[in-house]
Structure 1
Amino acid sequence: MPRSRQFDEDAVVDAAIAEFTEHGYTGTDAVGLCERAGIARSSFYSTFTSKDALFERALARYTGRGAGEREELVASRDPAPVVLRRRFADALGDQCARDDRLGCLSVNTAVELGRSMVGVTALLDADRSAWIDAYARILARGRDEGDIRPDVDPHAFGPLVHTTLAGLRVAARVATPDEVRAQLDAFLSALSTEAGREALAAVPACPVEQVRG
């Protein structure tokens, strides 16, 4: 395949991520995708064959972007509650900063489609498992270091951290930034020991401040 063709495909996939995030799977059609990507419908079908195929490629690229962030979060030596707040605040801050509050393609897709498409479900399951494992590792370190409550089971609470962020992303579609921040602070405080809460209080410049109006 010529190098320029590959670059064109990458641009189309990025355009598809934006289009599917804005309109959802059912609200997006080939016409809108082609207009956004600036390609002819014949090129669309010859390259991607169908909307479903492009949707899976877009979702795979979108979820793949989280790998580097997970590595950085797990490798961080900051107190675990601070690391978790950074993860939440980066995601929610970006969303709250947008006028449209569109949020996360993965969460939006899960809400819209559930487990109705096999390929999409496989991508979402893999992404969810990777994030849960990262959260569990962060919680385990935090428990060992005394910042996370000793009764917090990382294997049980890793999924809860993931679900809480997903829920806050949905809530952020309509809630005020102050409401989102209050829920985030309450959740992290409930997970933390006194030392963990002190660590949170000691970093007022944490990216949680990005959750703004």
Structure 2
Amino acid sequence: MGRKKTFDEQTVIKDAIAVFSEHGYTGTDVGLVCERANIGRSSFYNTFDSLDALFLRALREYTGSGTSLREELRTGTAPAPTLIMHRLGGELAKQCEDDKRIGCLSANTAAELGRDVDAVCTILDPDRRAWLETYSIVLERGQVEGHIRPDVDTKVHAELIHSVLAGLRIAARVMPADNVQAQANAFIEALCTPEGITALHNHTAPHTYDGRAPGHLISTEGSAQ
């Protein structure tokens, strides 16, 4: 009769996400995960079979957490530039508040592995497409509202938003926080009409990011909920 599991599987996956984010796929071994999760090797292999299996599961779990964030962007009532700033600024502020500045597992994995591992691509590709669709919807709505420049190609710039965030996440591992945020601000303002810039500054209060979720803002007057 097998032993009863004495640890929470989801907690181990959460710990694994942190370890893979910090050390990368190639820099992580079973010992690092077991030490972080405080479990034995036998428990690890009985539950997850292999480090590769855990990595793919952790990556799926991590990308899956973006579903609710995309829904917030799609349904948000704040001006489009503000929603984009909440996404970029919130993610980067959260990362810069972390002493290790580990950043994003998806971005780190893409930078490390590229398209070399098919199983990884089958996870990251749909996630990327979902984000691009969401950014495109927000940009199109911003054009209708007069806050995003009419000459902006929403599909191309949706890809650019995704790329800029990924790049700044990598840069934020070593760059001063103020520099990271300044670049995010400059990028978003370049998408805006004059009215959009006004709306952005009216709705984005300084230092309102908290640690409850990536891109989540503490409720302030005039800010997105």
TM over 0.5: yes
**Structure 2 counterpart of 1:57:** 57
**Structure 1 counterpart of 2:223:** none
Count of matched residue positions in the alignment of Structure 1 and Structure 2: 209
C-alpha distance in 2, partners of 1:209/1:25?
Answer: 30
Give the drift of 1:203. Answer: 2.7
Give the drift of 1:188. Answer: 0.7
- Partner AA of 1:46 in structure 2: N
Instruction: Tell me which moved more, 28-37 or 59-68.
Output: 28-37
Moved over 6 A (4+): 208-211
Root-mean-square deviation over aligned CA pairs: 2.0
- Partner AA of 1:67 in structure 2: T
Gaps of 5+ in 1: none
C-alpha distance in 2, partners of 1:209/1:59?
Answer: 25
- Partner AA of 2:128 in structure 1: R
Correspondence list, 1:84-123, <5 A: 84-123=84-123
- Partner AA of 2:9 in structure 1: E
- Partner AA of 2:156 in structure 1: A
Correspondence list, 1:166-177, <5 A: 166-177=166-177
Gaps of 5+ in 2: 216-225
Correspondence list, 1:133-172, <5 A: 133-172=133-172
- Partner AA of 2:89 in structure 1: A
Describe the shift of the 1:207–1:134 C-alpha distance in structure 2 as closer, same or farther (beyond 3 A): farther
Give the drift of 1:206. Answer: 5.4
Contact kept in structure 1, 2:78 and 2:203, CA below 8 Å? no
Going by fraction, where is helix more abundant, 1 or 2?
Answer: 1
Secondary structure in structure 1 of the residue aligned to 2:203? coil
C-alpha distance in 2, partners of 1:8/1:180?
Answer: 36
**Structure 1 counterpart of 2:199:** 199
Secondary structure in structure 1 of the residue aligned to 2:150? coil
**Structure 2 counterpart of 1:15:** 15
**Structure 1 counterpart of 2:82:** 82
C-alpha distance in 2, partners of 1:153/1:133?
Answer: 13
**Structure 2 counterpart of 1:73:** 73
C-alpha distance in 2, partners of 1:43/1:6?
Answer: 9
- Partner AA of 2:145 in structure 1: E
Describe the shift of the 1:41–1:31 C-alpha distance in structure 2 as closer, same or farther (beyond 3 A): same
Give the drift of 1:209. Answer: 6.3
C-alpha distance in 1, partners of 2:188/2:63?
Answer: 24
**Structure 1 length as normaliser, TM-score?**
0.92
Give the drift of 1:6. Answer: 9.8
